[in-house]
Every structure is written in structure tokens, then in C-alpha cells.
Amino acid sequence: MIRVVHLMGVQNGWAICLRVENLTRALAEHVEAKAVSFRQVRESGLPDGDFVHVHGLQIIRLVSDALSAVSCPWGFEVISHRSLKDIRKYEITRSLMARAACCWVKNKRLAPEVAQLVSGEPIYVPNGVDTALFRPRPVRIGWVGNRKNVAHAEYKGLPMLDDAISRLNDARLAGRLRFQFIDAPGSYPHIVTQAELVPYYQSLDLYVSMSIAEGCSNTINEAVSCGVPVVATKVGIVPEFIADGANVIGVERNVDSLVNGILKAVAGRTDSVRVMDAYDWVSPAVADAYLTEYRNAIAEATA
């Protein structure tokens, strides 16, 4: 178990504290972590550890005496361009930066400037995010019609929508995105008013219509007017909306085509979720990048 001291400045506030908290949790099997502020170090010195992780350039000059005398390796992070603006004012900071065992940057564009000030190559580590916590809410898919009238529901394609959503829920898109069906407010014989429908449409991520035929569908018109993406069979006004550049996807009247249309409609959301996998605190790109440098620095210092 590696003992890591996380050295923070109170002026960094909650963002640094959360970063330390997430990193501590991600490396709990390998690292025994202790977090201290620069004021604690000034008063009581650095706690014993195998590695000192300094969170932010500005902290270096505030604890320069402790870092100059520390017996274990240490490294620091460059978090923003702001911290580099006045770095050349402080000779002690530049001197200590050159002596650090390693340096991490949170932005690739910071690396060239930082490389001129350190002995080794800066290591890019994405800013982590807890994807178990910061995840999309269920995609809200809507349909308007009389569910209790079986003939009407069949004509409008509601069973296909039910099947498609069940299939998507079963697949769960690698467990990262869920789908949720929402009925229109009210039920027959209650007539849903236009005033009731407006907030309903506005609450949706996607509206679906799988009708056999349509003249000029009220519900598609209303959904499009509310800015809701639509997946629909290419009937009635749908081809016109597609040609006019409305956010409407035309599909064939079968479940496979509907599933593909829904996935296409929410592709931006699914792509974003996939991209963020690399930024998860428990991913090799984040937590392992820190752990590797801890181990390398300790091994070199004890060789």
C-alpha cells in the first residue's frame, strides 16, 4: 500500500477537494491517502508518506521549505493556464518545479509550456468525472393517442413502440443509457386539451409515431412545433418535414427500423456517454495514470 499525501491550497476550494476525494476512492485498493492544506503543512510540517501529490502550481511556493526538505518523491499538477501566467515571477517555484519527480497536466495544450519548466515530460491526465453519479437521465419517449382503443393503437403503431423500447431496455446500451415510455396525460373518454399537451411535449426527448397512414398528423405537428425530435413512418406530412430540414427521422414500419431510428435520434447523447468512459476516475486514463507515476517515482527514489 502506497502512502500518498495530497497537498492542497484552501483557495482552490471544492473542485480540488472533490478531485482528491474521487482519486482517493478510485485508488483505495492501492493507496492510503491523506489530504492536508498548505496551512497545516506550515504549522505542523508534511505528514510521513511515500509520495507527495501537490494539487496546483501556486501551492509550491507556499510550502517551498517543506518541499525542499521532503525525503520522499513528489509531483505536482498544472490545472489551468491561469496558474502559469505569473509563474516566472517566482524563482523558488521554478527551481522546485525542475526538481519534481513528475508533473501532470489537465489539458494537452498546457504540456508544451510546462515542458520548458520541468525535468521530464509532463503527463496528460484527463480531468476525471464520476460517471456512476454524473449520468444521463432516462430518455423520455412519448406517444399521443388512445391506448385503450386497441384498433386505434394498432393503427398508430403503439405495439411496435412498446416492443422497441423493451428491446432497448434489454440491451441497455452497455448499461449506460435507459429508455422510458411516457403516455399522454389523461385517458379516454377524457379529452386531453392543447394546454395539457404543451408541457407534455416539452418534457420529451423524442416523439414517436408509427402510423400506417396519416393525412397531416396533429401530434407530429405539435411535437415538431415544440422542438421535439421525431421518429415516424414516412406518411402524411413526414416527408415534407424531412425535406424542409425539421428534426424528423423517417423509418419503415417495423420494429428493427424503429429501433435504429431511435438510436439515430439519440446518437448525440449516446456518443457523449461513450466518450466520457475515458474520463471516468476508475479508467486507466485517469486513476492508473497517477498510480503508475507514484510507483515509478518511488522505485526511482529507492533504487
Instruction: Tell me the percentage of the chain whose pLDDT exceeds 70.
Output: 93
Say whether both 151 and 65 belong to one domain: no
Residues whose CB falls within 8 Å of the CB of residue 6, separated by 6 or more in sequence, listed in order: 20, 23, 24, 33, 34, 35, 36, 53, 55
Give the three-state DSSP class for 16. Answer: helix
Residues written for the chain: 303
Say whether both 144 and 270 belong to one domain: yes
d(CA 192, CA 197): 7
Say whether both 112 and 224 belong to one domain: no
Predicted pLDDT at 216:
83
Say whether both 207 and 250 belong to one domain: yes
Say whether both 156 and 66 belong to one domain: no
| Domains held by the chain: number | 2
Q: What is the pLDDT of residues 232-279, one digit of tens each?
A: 999 998 999 999 999 999 999 999 999 999 999 988 888 888 888 889
Say whether both 118 and 171 belong to one domain: no
State the CB neighbour count (10 A cutoff) for residue 91. Answer: 9
Closest CA to 205 of 270, 146, 145, 129: 270
Query: In 130-231, which ranges are continuous DSSP H helix?
Result: 150-156, 158-171, 194-202, 218-225
Say whether both 148 and 235 belong to one domain: yes
Residues whose CB falls within 8 Å of the CB of residue 294, separated by 6 or more in sequence, listed in order: 2, 4, 31, 50, 51, 53
End-to-end CA distance of the chain: 18
Q: Is the pLDDT of residue 181 over 80?
A: no
Predicted pLDDT at 12:
52
pTM of the model: 0.78
Mean pLDDT of 209-220: 91
Say whether both 145 and 262 belong to one domain: yes
- Residue 14, φ and ψ in degrees, nearest 5: -65, -30
CATH classification of the domain holding 145 = 3.40.50.2000
Query: What cell numbers appear for 300 in the block?
Result: 526511482
d(CA 155, CA 293): 62
State the CB neighbour count (10 A cutoff) for residue 103. Answer: 24
Say whether both 120 and 68 belong to one domain: yes
Q: Which of 52-56, 67-71, 135-139, 298-302 has the lowest mean pLDDT?
A: 135-139
Q: What is the pLDDT of residues 10-49, one digit of tens each?
A: 655 678 888 899 999 999 999 999 999 989 998 888 999 9
Say whether both 106 and 154 belong to one domain: no
Q: In terms of residue numbers, what domain contains 291?
A: 2-130+280-302
Separate counts of helices (H) and strands (E) for the chain: 15, 11
Q: Is the pLDDT of residue 209 over 90?
A: yes
Closest CA to 111 of 156, 70, 81: 81
Mean residue pLDDT of the chain comes to 88
d(CA 38, CA 297): 22
Say whether both 20 and 93 belong to one domain: yes
d(CA 113, CA 92): 18
Confidence band for 84, pLDDT divided at 50, 70 and 90: confident
CA pseudo-torsion sign 78, 84, 86, 88:
positive
d(CA 272, CA 177): 11
Q: Is the pLDDT of residue 185 over 80?
A: no
- Better-scored residue on pLDDT, 122 or 173: 122
